């Protein structure tokens, strides 16, 4: 049986969500796991299974754990005689937000030749920034809502009511609705507490929203149930993440077959824009019978295990299908040819 290294944490506003995701993911799979925590000061620690409790990180006791170091092929720990590799076949990242979803870890893993589940560098950059996500969706032929990006002091040209979101943040953090001018100052302050830029979109009350997760493997597409999340006016942080520990699986939304297939086709179009190697979740609206992309979650909460009937089989199929980096053979033939022709350089 393969051994997974579950990586979580990071210097991010979504740091605590990542801890909850790692605990939840471990409960959902039977595979043998090692746990690597990325602390807020960007140090790696090997966490014992017995210590995988939220309070262990909140009170700082993780600092007594074994510190790890990233090296060629994976993580290592210091020993009396040097360094010893940590046993594990593949890293599964549930580091949400900055560090995890913005491409920093993906770049490190590519640089050190680490086998990992998660979005690659380009996909991370495109899906972490909500403006770039609009460009990606347009390239894929999937509709999105009208939008405006703003900095503090800019005039908003979208009519009330509208929703204001930090440009580079997930988990519904910093998101609020402005129904009229009396709400505007709060909405702006909330968004700019977390980012220097924000995106503004029309707010559509009672819009039909659907979530769909999945990946592409060597034997084809593996898509989850289509979930219609139960929400208040706005699907907020609390609703999204305080039920991560739920044991039950999501029931398939009651949808006409053509709408369900349109959602799946939109997902496939988005995923095909460079998300090979990742298990992602897309959140869609259905407006007047048309599918509209709301957001891409390149590392969804708890890695979306609750949306699948047979999650571990899906995860293993993805691991067996991970893309491989092209190894470039450096020959120095050019330098040798110059030296041969012109003498020493």
CATH number at residue 296: 3.30.470.20
How confident is the model at residue 337, as a pLDDT? Answer: 85
Q: Tell me the pLDDT band of 336, cut-offs 50, 70 and 90.
A: confident
pLDDT at residue 341 is higher than 80: no
CATH number at residue 89: 3.40.50.20
Report yes or no on 329 lying in a domain: no
**Taking residues 66-94, what's their average pLDDT?**
94
Contacts of 315 (CB under 8 A, 6+ apart): 29, 92, 117, 279, 303
Looking at the structure, tell me whether residues 184 and 219 fall in a common domain: no
Report yes or no on 235 lying in a domain: yes
Residue 56: domain span: 3-117
Report yes or no on 59 lying in a domain: yes
Q: Answer whether 118's CB lies under 8 Å from 78's CB.
A: no
**Taking residues 280-304, what's their average pLDDT?**
96
**Taking residues 168-189, what's their average pLDDT?**
90
Looking at the structure, tell me whether residues 102 and 25 fall in a common domain: yes
How confident is the model at residue 342, as a pLDDT? Answer: 64
Q: Tell me the pLDDT band of 251, cut-offs 50, 70 and 90.
A: confident
How confident is the model at residue 338, as a pLDDT? Answer: 81
Looking at the structure, tell me whether residues 279 and 136 fall in a common domain: yes
Report yes or no on 340 lying in a domain: no
How confident is the model at residue 80, as a pLDDT? Answer: 87
Contacts of 215 (CB under 8 A, 6+ apart): 221, 222, 271, 275, 278, 279, 280, 314, 317, 318
Q: Give the CA radius of gyration of the chain.
A: 22
Backbone angles phi, psi at 27, to 5 degrees: -70, -25
Q: How many domains does the chain have?
A: 3
Q: In terms of C-beta density within 10 A (0-12 exposed, 13-18 middle, 19 or more buried), how is residue 73 classed? A: exposed
Distance CA 75, CA 84 (A): 9
Q: How confident is the prediction for the chain on average, in pLDDT?
A: 92
Q: Answer whether 210's CB lies under 8 Å from 284's CB.
A: yes
Q: What is the pTM of this model?
A: 0.91
Looking at the structure, tell me whether residues 179 and 261 fall in a common domain: no
Lowest mean pLDDT among 21-25, 79-83, 168-172, 250-254: 168-172
H-state helical runs in the chain: 15-28, 54-58, 104-112, 121-128, 130-140, 181-192, 237-241, 257-271, 311-319, 333-342
Report yes or no on 187 lying in a domain: yes
Looking at the structure, tell me whether residues 88 and 136 fall in a common domain: no
CATH number at residue 166: 3.30.1490.20
DSSP string, 313-331: HHHHHHHTT---PPPP---
Distance CA 278, CA 315 (A): 10
């Amino acid at each position: 049986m393969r051994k997974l290294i579950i990586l979580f944490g990071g210097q991010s506003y979504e740091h605590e969500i990542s801890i909850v995701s790692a605990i939840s993911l471990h409960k959902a799979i039977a595979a043998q796991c090692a746990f690597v925590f990325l602390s807020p000061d960007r140090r790696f620690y090997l966490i014992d299974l017995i210590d995988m409790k939220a309070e262990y990180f909140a009170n700082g006791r993780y600092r007594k754990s074994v510190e790890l170091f990233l090296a060629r092929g994976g993580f290592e720990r210091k020993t009396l005689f040097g360094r010893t590799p940590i046993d594990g076949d593949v890293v599964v990242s549930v580091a949400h937000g900055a560090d995890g979803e913005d491409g920093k870890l993906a770049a490190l893993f590519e640089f050190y030749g680490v086998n990992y589940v998660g979005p690659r560098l380009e996909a991370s950059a495109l899906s972490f920034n909500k403006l770039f996500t609009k460009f990606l969706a347009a390239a894929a032929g999937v509709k999105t809502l009208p939008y405006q990006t703003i900095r503090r002091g800019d005039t908003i040209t979208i009519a009330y009511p509208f929703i204001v979101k930090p440009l580079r943040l997930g988990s519904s953090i910093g998101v609020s609705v402005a129904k009229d001018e009396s709400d505007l100052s709060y909405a702006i302050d909330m968004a700019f507490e977390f980012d220097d830029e924000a995106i503004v979109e029309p707010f559509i009350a009672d819009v039909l929203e659907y979530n769909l997760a999945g990946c592409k493997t060597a034997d084809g597409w593996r898509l989850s149930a289509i979930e219609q999340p139960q929400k208040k006016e706005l699907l907020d942080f609390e609703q999204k993440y305080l039920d991560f520990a739920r044991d039950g699986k999501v029931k398939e939304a009651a949808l006409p077959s053509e709408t369900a297939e349109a959602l799946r086709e939109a997902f496939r179009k988005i995923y095909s824009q460079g998300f090979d190697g990742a298990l992602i979740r897309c959140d869609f609206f259905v407006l007047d019978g048309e599918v509209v992309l709301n957001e891409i979650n390149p590392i969804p909460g708890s890695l979306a295990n609750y949306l699948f009937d047979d999650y571990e089989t899906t995860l293993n199929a993805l691991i067996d299908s991970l893309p491989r980096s092209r190894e470039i053979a450096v020959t120095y033939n050019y330098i040798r040819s110059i030296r041969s022709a012109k003498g020493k350089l």
